Amino acid sequence: MKIAFIGLGNMGGGMAANLVKAGHDVHAFDLSEEALGRAKENGCSTYTSVREAVQGAEAVVSMLPNGKIVESVYTGDVIGHAPTTALLLDCSTIDVDTAKRVADAAAGAGYAMVDAPVSGGIAAANGGTLTFMVGGSDAAFARAEPILAAMGKAVIHAGASGAGQAAKICNNMILGATMIATCEAFALAEKLGLDLQTFYDISSKASGQSWSMTSYCPIPGVGPQSPADNGYQGGFAAALMLKDLKLAMEAAASAGAKVPMGVRAEEVYEAFTAAGNGGVDFSGIIKTL
């Protein structure tokens, strides 16, 4: 397929490269010349504007920083410029209301669209092992699934437009809170005189097990390789975790849901990023303990 890819940052660059590997003709755009250069090296055709990139596209995939940018790009440069036959897939993590509004604008102009935020981080984006949570109609999901499958290990239909974003926000609220709890437990185990590898061997096979422990352990040299083994660099930046937690708090407020652990997780990551750690991997929160 001829696929336009908008947004070639830490996540989007690897995703676009995997579409090329799957045999697609990828027409890429980013504001960064460096990102465009990497995309070209990975086999993408590069363009100097969104409108140029989406010309004649059969699908448009985007990976952008926030809802305001997503809405601006789609309403200003994609809708009305890409063929109405093109499927629109936004893989950014944004608020549910904006996702629904952009999908409604697309539908009003004759386009099918899905919101398809991801879980897995930079390594999974590069390795093609992301998990996609997809919101949209059954027909749109059926069209989106083979495209997303070229970039991930799991593609799951969450429901109607906006449901993908809702699933991502809830998932990352769990992730933020469990990472803090995991870090606290390791810090306490050390203060109580436990060997941390031994504690990992026990808890990873007991009821304290979680993804934060067994797939992304915050202790260097313990468990599978993670950003902890690289000075807490790479992976998923604390500033991005804070962004997702803020989205979760906004969603909770609008839904009238009580999320005390989510509230506390937001406070902890707010303080961590305010102290100059926004670019540090979110597991680096252990350094505050």
Closest CA to 194 of 215, 216, 222, 174: 222
Please give the span between the terminal C-alpha atoms of the chain, in angstroms, as a whole number.
49
Rounded to an integer, what is the distance from CA 20 to the centroid of its chain? 20
CA distance 85 to 69: 23
DSSP 41-55: HTT-EE-SSHHHHTT
CA distance 85 to 93: 24
Q: Is 68 a catalytic residue?
A: no
CA distance 150 to 129: 9
Cα–Cα–Cα angle for 282, 285, 289, rounded to 5 degrees = 170
**Secondary structure letter of residue 93 according to DSSP:** -
Cα–Cα–Cα angle for 152, 158, 160, rounded to 5 degrees = 125
Q: Considering 68, 168, 191, 243, which one is annotated as catalytic?
A: 168
Tokens read off for 95: 């608020």
Q: Which active-site residues does the annotation give?
A: 168
